[in-house]
Structure 1
Amino acid sequence: MYKVLLVDDERIITEGMSKVINWESIGTNLIGTARNGIEAYNIIEENKPDIVISDIKMPGMNGLELVAKVHSVFPEIRFILLSGFSEFDFAKQAMQYGVKHYLLKPCNENTIMDAVSEICEDINQNQKREQFIRKMKGTLESVLPYAKEQLLKEFITNHYENKDLEYYQNLFNIDLNTPKVRLVLFQLEGKFEFEHMFAIKKIAEQIFDSYMVSCSVGETILFLIEDYCNYPKLYAQIEKIKKTFYQYYQIDSTVAISESGKISNANKLYNEALDCLTYRFYLGEGGVITKKDITYQNPSDELEFYYDDQTFCRLVKSGSWTNVNKEINTFFNQLIDLRLDINTTKSYVIQLFNAMIRLCEAKEMNMYLTKLTFLLEIDTIQNLKSFFESVAQEITLSFFEHNNNKHSTIIKKVIETIDQYIGNQNLSLHWVANEMLYMNADYLGKLFKKETGEKFSNYITRLRIELAINLIEKENDVKVFEIAEKIGYGENPQYFSQVFKKHTGFTPSEYKRESLQGS
């Protein structure tokens, strides 16, 4: 119920109104009466009524003075003024303080009850309105951070222009005068799921001192942070994020950091960070890359790279893996030193790759052509080199076997033993020499290298990788640990995966996925 106070210097009026009007029927409770404005104000201070019904003409403090004083302290209290005078000036003064009900004496109880009921209804509506506004404000406040983050994300990735950001800056409290900001991009390496992106995002949010945006963009995690003007501190925080994430998931990450700049240039900083991230093609996975690390040749200064494919092909046909491997190192070192545009670099590798596989018979050449899709998707030059080496070694050794199809009796026995025990994790040069052939291991190793052109350990590794590839391509549901057991890596599938990636540029799981997509 709403509290009502009656104020009139005529006791007969206050007593009459107190008794005649059924206050409860109109949702009110009469809390008392006062004989003048001074007495009324004291009661108002103590009880804070919702509605005051007051005469205007009273000694000490009249009704208009009471309204003015109460309005300055308790503006929410409503007034109904009673007067025997109908002068317009009274009504005009009362309206200045929000008084909407000005009743002329004498007035019956129905008139007063109607006025009180109208005020009660007005208070009800105001309370509902305020409750709704508070609720909507709470909802808006909970949504605003996400909306702000989405807006900045769209602006950073070039979906909005500066004028759009200026339009929203007041709503989202965006300070376009923030002195400096940086863009930091995290790229997870190898195979990963959305949960891993979410995890590194949360780890970074806890470690960074402050950030304006934290979101995923494609397969990267983006942070817009205020520039600390302390690069060593930022670098230390990034290393802590990488290390913490790796401890939990054993997944490496590459980080790109833009230069510092104004928030209005965030899109430029974003593209700069993307360029840094792409440059991991030359620098390798798992690093922290800044603009200072990028040394691309300018298109106008870019030199034409020339390499003699025919010389390389003659080496492959000779069957000498030592010479071929040396030439591959020379070829890739030249590309690394030149730091050409990545697509240009890949085009030179593809050109040499095609020249090499054309040396093969049609069936083998077609098989190698299907691996071009793998080559195109490799994202570091070291992995590209490993992939190229694995194919070159296969082709070179096939020519070696063709050129030297007659091995000595001892080496034939060694190869037969290898073929028979390839799945045995104890297979090694010493094991074959001591346990199977009963001869000096060093001598056997030199003899094997002389007749095959390949070290014993390299031969074993190559053969095992070839077997692994065959298993992956023939058995879609084969598990990595099953392959490891079958080809002699025992109970160490992780080491097998490392060796496989070193020789092919892919982990077994990645190779399997690409093989399925290619088919």
Structure 2
Amino acid sequence: MYKVLLADDERIILEGMAEIIEWEALGVSLIGKAQNGNEAYDKILNNQPHIVITDVKMPGMDGLELIKKVSAANPSVQFIVLSGFGEFEYAKEAMKYGVKHYLLKPCNEQQIISSLEEIIAELKQHDMRQKRTAHLKHELDHIRSFAADQYLEGLIAGVAQLSPPPSLAGKKVRLLIVKGEQSIDSAVREALGSALTAVCSSGDWTVLAVEENAAEKAADVFTDYQMAISQTGELRHAGQLFRDTVEASGDLHGSAVISKMIRLVADELANPNLSLKWAAKDMLFMNPDYLGKLFKQETGEKFSQYVTRVRLEHAMKQLKIRRDASVSDIAEEIGFGDNPKYFSLVFKKYTGLTPSEFRRKQGGASAG
């Protein structure tokens, strides 16, 4: 039901219009009355009427100012303007703001009803057009989504000479490869929104192509699943991205991934950024939570504990055999950067001795 607001500084006219017109029979509801422009403006902002019937001359803010301000804030509001004899200049000015209904006082009930009926018919037509447009857009989005899904499925399956849908030509994506057939329901699609370019199933995997900057958001949707994330590439290269990622992650098989993580720790021992999150997202392109669970499950040790243990065992070995190396040098070699004090604290917590005390106990000279 469309909403109507009345504004007139003459109480008799205001109450008369409110009483005499059968609003509900017209398919509208009278939601308010105002006796000056300022009051009318506040009620329009608060109640969002579709139609305003206003006098031209009112105290505070006249009808013309009201139309200007409301048109700037909400151009969809329709006006019926009431004016006295000899106020034609007001009518011309009102028409500049799209006002089509200008009634000369005294106007009768039927004139107001006729203007209301015309506006209501226009509003209904506008609403129908919007509904049709929304429906067509929904259908078009569905068709586009289906075409994109089919295209991705063909690429993963290795179908040659596929042409991308026009809207996807040259599109950059990352693939989220989830083990097992997952239900990509409306909640998942809503969470990812337009970032989800296409989705398909392929054997043991569900593959989602997502916009390159949304890969982490997409991964969060599947925190509890075994998964991998590809490098960035054009959607048309999804087949190669898929094969490279599955191969790199050891066919998403646990022990192969853990072997890679252990090799990575050995290679990156001096890297201060070495962490589960860094290893997962920058090196192995997998979900950090899943990777952490997998590592603990396979090794019985948290990844962070493993890294600390390997670093400190390496440090102990170096303190024994490299008598002249400084504690600072060894700290830097195992990823503590320029923070030898923190290294000493961690070392003491692990061994019960500071690096210098450990070295003395081994019978070597204390350096640095």
* TM-score interval, normalised by the smaller of the two chains: 0.3 to 0.5
TM-score, scaled relative to structure 2 = 0.47
Larger Rg, first or second structure (1 or 2): 1
Per the normalisation by structure 1, the TM-score is 0.34
The structure with the greater share of residues assigned to helix is 1
